[in-house]
């Protein structure tokens, strides 16, 4: 009994410490966004002396948040939809079909999970978008982000292995074509994996900075929120405006938080429904 009580006590202590470590930077950012620039750069107190709620209005106006939020939502939504569809179809083909080069394809995708070459591929990616005329469009960013779907693919194929092949065979007997089997049977059963993978893809594309920066240098109206936030770092006369950048960061978190709550709720509903069934 004492050992069990000590175990629970240490577990709660560990969880509380982990939560404090996780939440502390967020609290610092929120309070920092409500300070003056002078107090933020020179003060050592966490709580602001004067609460500058006007920083949010200034950040919204200065960074053109309405436009940049729309750009980020467009890029993130299209990337999420495209990545999920491509990954789900690829996983279905690899798991259910046999074709030459199947192991090579899987090996190449697996290798991309362990190799990060970052900005090295920016130039060839940009040159490729020039060839198809998308170097000044957000669609170029979307296509590149969709191509980085290896992690989503392996999540899908891992979930597909738990779906009995007998469902496919029963559908074939009823006259369904392979495409109809995928869209009507397999894809609905993949909803839990789609919810989890979609949340990860949306978050990564929302936070992407380098690609939108490169593709919007000649057209600032297409900038996404991360690029716009970076521009808030310096105000008039190149003076540092860190409080505005922190206020903008707090604003930019809200859409991502809303998507997280929606995806998490959908995931839980699908999971509970599967258990009840």
Per-residue pLDDT reduced to its tens digit, 77-96: 999 999 999 988 888 888 88
Alpha carbon separation from 30 to 22, 33, 45, 109, 267 (Å, rounded): 14, 5, 13, 40, 29
Residue with tokens 């939108």: 212
Q: What is the pLDDT of residue 264?
A: 67
CA angle 82, 266, 17 (to 5 degrees): 105
Residue scoring higher pLDDT (191 or 271) = 191
CB-based contacts of 181, cutoff 8 Å, min separation 6: 168, 171, 172
CB-based contacts of 115, cutoff 8 Å, min separation 6: none
Q: What is the mean pLDDT of residues 12-29?
A: 86
Domains contained in the chain, CATH given: 64-231 (1.10.3720.10)
HSE, side-chain direction, 13 A CA sphere, residue 85: 10
Cα–Cα distance between 144 and 128 in angstroms, integer? 10
Q: What is the mean pLDDT of residues 67-75?
A: 88
Nearest to 149 by CA among 79, 76, 78, 71: 79
pTM of the model: 0.78
pLDDT at 137 over 50: yes
Proportion of the chain above pLDDT 90, given as a percent:
4
Q: What is the pLDDT of residue 272?
A: 47
pLDDT at 228 over 90: no
Q: What is the pLDDT of residue 94?
A: 85
Cα–Cα distance between 223 and 210 in angstroms, integer? 11
Q: What is the mean pLDDT of residues 176-203?
A: 83
Tens of pLDDT, residues 92-102: 888 887 788 88
């Amino acid at each position: 009994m004492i050992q069990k009580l000590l175990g629970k006590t240490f577990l709660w202590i560990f969880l509380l410490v982990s939560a404090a470590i996780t939440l502390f930077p967020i609290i610092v950012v929120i309070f920092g966004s409500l300070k003056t620039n002078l107090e933020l750069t020179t003060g050592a107190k966490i709580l602001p002396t004067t609460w500058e709620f006007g920083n949010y209005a200034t950040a919204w106006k200065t960074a053109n948040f309405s436009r940049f939020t729309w750009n980020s939502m467009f890029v993130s939504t299209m990337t999420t939809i495209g990545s999920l569809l491509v990954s789900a179809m690829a996983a279905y083909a690899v798991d259910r079909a046999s074709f030459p080069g199947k192991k090579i394809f899987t090996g190449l995708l697996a290798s991309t999970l362990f190799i990060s070459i970052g900005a090295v591929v920016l130039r060839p990616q940009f040159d490729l978008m020039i060839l198809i005329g998308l170097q000044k469009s957000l669609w170029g960013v979307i296509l590149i982000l969709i191509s980085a779907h290896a992690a989503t693919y392996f999540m899908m194929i891992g979930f597909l292995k738990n779906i009995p092949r007998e469902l496919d065979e029963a559908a074939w007997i009823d006259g369904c074509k392979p495409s109809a089997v995928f869209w009507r049977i397999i894809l609905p059963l993949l909803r839990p994996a789609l919810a989890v993978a979609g949340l990860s893809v949306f978050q990564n594309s929302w936070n992407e900075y380098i690609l939108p920066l490169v593709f919007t240098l000649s057209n600032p109206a297409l900038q996404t929120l991360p690029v716009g936030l970076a521009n808030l770092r310096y105000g008039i006369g190149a003076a540092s405006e860190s409080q505005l950048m922190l206020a903008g960061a707090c604003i930019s978190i809200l859409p991502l938080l809303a998507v997280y709550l929606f995806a998490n709720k959908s995931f839980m509903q699908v999971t509970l429904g599967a258990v009840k069934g």
